[in-house]
Structure 1
Amino acid sequence: MDILKTSFTFQDEANASNQSPIKIAFLGTRHPHVMYRFAVLDKMGGFEFSGFYEENEKIAEELAKRLPRLPRFQSAGELLDTLPDVVMIHSLDPDVPRWARFAIDHPAPFKGLFLEKPGAAIPQDFYKLAEEIKGKRPGLAVELGYEMHYSEALEFARQVIREGALGDITTARFHGGCPSGAGMDLWQAIPEDLGGIMQTEGCHTLENVIDLFGAPDRVVSSIRKLPERPPHPVVGWIPDLFSGTVTTGEFGVGTLMYEDVCSGIMEYADKTIVLDMTAWEPTEWCNEWAIDVYGTNGSLHAIPDYPVATLYLREARGSFKAGETKLSTEKPHGTSNVPACYHKQFQSLFDRVRGAKKLEHGCCDLETNVKILKVIDAFYKSSASRQWVDV
Structure 2
Amino acid sequence: MEPLVVGLLGITHPHASARVRALREIEGVEVVAAADDDPRLQYFTDKYDMEPRDIDGVLEDGRINAVMVHSKSKDMVSHALRALAAGKSVVVEKPGGGTVDDLLKLAEAESLAAPGLVVQVGYNVRLAQSVTRAKGLIDAGTIGNVVSVSARGAALAGEHLTAHLNQPADMGGALWIIGCHMVDSLVSMFGIPESVNARVRKSAMLSDESSREDSAAVLLNYPDMSATFSFDSHDRLEWFESSGISVYGTAGMIEIGVLPQKLRVYVEKDRDGWSAGWTEWTQSYFTPPFARTDANKFSELPELENISNFRTEMRGWIDSIRTGASVVAPVTDALAVARIIDACYRSEQELGASVQVAQGVTPDAELTS
TM value normalised by structure 2: 0.86
Alignment of 1:327-366 (within 5 A): 327-329=281-283, 331=284, 333=285, 335=287, 338-357=306-325, 363-366=328-331
1-side partners of 2:36 and 2:29: how far apart? 21
CA contact (8 A) 2:81 2:106 kept: yes
1-side partners of 2:37 and 2:224: how far apart? 49
Alignment of 1:1-391 (within 5 A): 19-44=1-26, 46-56=28-38, 58-67=39-48, 69-106=49-86, 109-110=87-88, 112-229=89-206, 253-254=207-208, 257-329=211-283, 331=284, 333=285, 335=287, 338-357=306-325, 363-386=328-351, 387-391=353-357
2-side partners of 1:139 and 1:371: how far apart? 24
2-side partners of 1:21 and 1:319: how far apart? 42
1-side partners of 2:220 and 2:194: how far apart? 7
Match of 2:24, SS state, is: helix
2-side partners of 1:196 and 1:74: how far apart? 29
Displacement after TM superposition at 1:197 (Å): 1.4
CA contact (8 A) 2:13 2:71 kept: yes
Deviates more, 1:31-40 or 1:84-93: 31-40
1-side partners of 2:250 and 2:52: how far apart? 57
- Please tell me the residue identity of whatever aligns with 2:35: Y
- Please tell me the residue identity of whatever aligns with 1:383: E
CA contact (8 A) 2:149 2:226 kept: yes
Displacement after TM superposition at 1:255 (Å): 5.7
Gaps of 5+ in 2: 291-305, 358-369
1-side partners of 2:225 and 2:218: how far apart? 14
- Please tell me the residue identity of whatever aligns with 1:50: V
Gaps of 5+ in 1: 1-18, 230-252
2-side partners of 1:185 and 1:39: how far apart? 25
Deviates more, 1:278-287 or 1:128-137: 128-137
Match of 2:307, SS state, is: helix
Displacement after TM superposition at 1:90 (Å): 0.5
CA contact (8 A) 2:103 2:331 kept: no
Deviations 1:285-307 (A, max 9, x none): 01011111111111111111111
CA contact (8 A) 1:25 1:87 kept: yes
1-side partners of 2:307 and 2:44: how far apart? 21
CA contact (8 A) 1:28 1:99 kept: no
Q: CA RMSD in A?
A: 2.0
1-side partners of 2:108 and 2:115: how far apart? 10
Displacement after TM superposition at 1:328 (Å): 4.8
2-side partners of 1:137 and 1:188: how far apart? 34
2-side partners of 1:326 and 1:256: how far apart? 43
2-side partners of 1:142 and 1:22: how far apart? 15
Identity of aligned residues (%): 24
1-side partners of 2:70 and 2:114: how far apart? 20
2-side partners of 1:82 and 1:59: how far apart? 26
2-side partners of 1:189 and 1:113: how far apart? 25
- Please tell me the residue identity of whatever aligns with 2:244: A
Q: 1:64 to 1:77 in 2, by over 3 A?
A: closer
1-side partners of 2:286 and 2:19: how far apart? 23
